[in-house]
Amino acid sequence: AEAIDFLEYYARQILEIKDGVKVNSRPNEYNRYDYIPLGVGIIISPWNFPLAIMAGTTVAAIVAGNTVLLKPASTTPIVAAKFVEVMEEAGLPKGVLNFVPGSGAEVGDYLVDHKDTRFVSFTGSRDVGLRITERASKLNEGQIWIKRVIAEMGGKDTIVVDKDADLELAAQSIVASAFGFSGQKCSACSRAVIVEDVYDQVLNRVVEITKEKKAGNPEDTSNYTGPVIDQAAFDKIMSYIEIGKEEGKLMAGGEGDNSKGFFIQPTIFADLTPEARIMKEEIFGPVVGFTKAKDFDDAIEIANNTEYGLTGAVITNNRE
């Protein structure tokens, strides 16, 4: 559904801007600006939305008249391969969209560095995004333009719960956002900042709901979350769980089982300081940290103490 929305959106956007946009002119002058294609774009898409984000970033470049080299995440190439087949079947001329699978270090660096690359559109981790930005800024022999980089790189998203909130809505929202997709989305709630008047109520309710949820084979619909993507992710998330045990109080989960896949139980840490690593670093797994705020202003200050800016929510009934 999200992939369809992206295709629909970019198709309609280009219909609006394809003939240029009039600019206010002086008498006897007529000015307008036009969008022009840049050239060859490298699309480096993430594994966690292997159809939607891959399709959206690819189509955005194509409708604007660019040709694309699509390098999907090395863990999810098949969805992208099928998408390329479907696009050709739909009538896209051969050579407009080119499927270039492979590892980031091997294929990604080569594509980013190439003199004929005009722009790079990347979605993924902060470290890789910064690496691409740095490499793309260097002029390569034969290159006659400045490469443009679009990079969307993770988040550390907060749900702030005010004392005037619907507490059941708050608890359900935290659980859904933190543990859906096993927390493997840059928009997942990974920190809950709760005003102290309602902190215990919200925390206890979240723990209660979470303890009913199990991680396991998603073919069994009684399981709430499936596995995390691979061994490396499993190891990273489990190491953060160990850090969380030092920094706060483990309230739920904390266990992983990689004997038949990479399953991690939805995990909650309470009573963390705003400076705790669990509250500051992107974990990308089913782990949420709770911090108590003195009041609403304090909660907003804690929510803003992050280097990431992506999504967030304030749950309150007080409009002001």
Answer whether 259's CB lies under 8 Å from 157's CB. no
Q: Give the pLDDT score at 46.
A: 96
pLDDT > 90? residue 143: yes
Q: Give the pLDDT score at 120.
A: 98
pLDDT-derived band at 306, boundaries 50, 70, 90: very high
What is residue 252's three-state secondary structure?
strand
What average pLDDT score do residues 208-215 get? 96
Share of the chain above pLDDT 70, in %: 100
Q: Give the pLDDT score at 75.
A: 94
Q: Give the pLDDT score at 290.
A: 98
Residue 78: Cβ within 10 Å count: 10
pLDDT-derived band at 303, boundaries 50, 70, 90: very high
pLDDT > 90? residue 141: yes
Q: What is the pLDDT of residues 250-275, one digit of tens each?
A: 999 999 999 999 999 999 999 999 99
Residues labelled as active-site residues: 152, 186
Mean pLDDT of the chain: 96
Q: Give the pLDDT score at 255.
A: 97
Q: Give the pLDDT score at 273.
A: 98
Q: What is the pLDDT of residues 33-82, one digit of tens each?
A: 898 999 999 999 999 999 999 999 999 999 999 999 999 999 999 999 99
pLDDT > 90? residue 104: no
Q: Give the pLDDT score at 309.
A: 85
What average pLDDT score do residues 235-245 get? 98
What average pLDDT score do residues 157-183 get? 97
Q: Cα 319 to chain center, whole Å?
A: 28
> DSSP secondary structure string, 153-182?
----EEEEE-TTS-HHHHHHHHHHHHHGGG
Q: What is the pLDDT of residues 116-130, one digit of tens each?
A: 999 999 999 999 999
Q: Give the pLDDT score at 22.
A: 84
Q: What is the pLDDT of residues 32-42, one digit of tens each?
A: 889 899 999 99
Nearest-angstrom CA–CA distance, 224 and 24: 55
- Mention every residue, 6+ apart, whose C-beta is less than 8 A from residue 225: 179, 180, 181, 182, 213, 214, 215, 218, 266, 286
pLDDT > 90? residue 25: no
Q: Give the pLDDT score at 128.
A: 93
Q: Give the pLDDT score at 76.
A: 95
Q: Give the pLDDT score at 226.
A: 96
Q: Which domains does the chain have, with CATH numbers?
A: 2-152 (3.40.605.10), 157-315 (3.40.309.10)
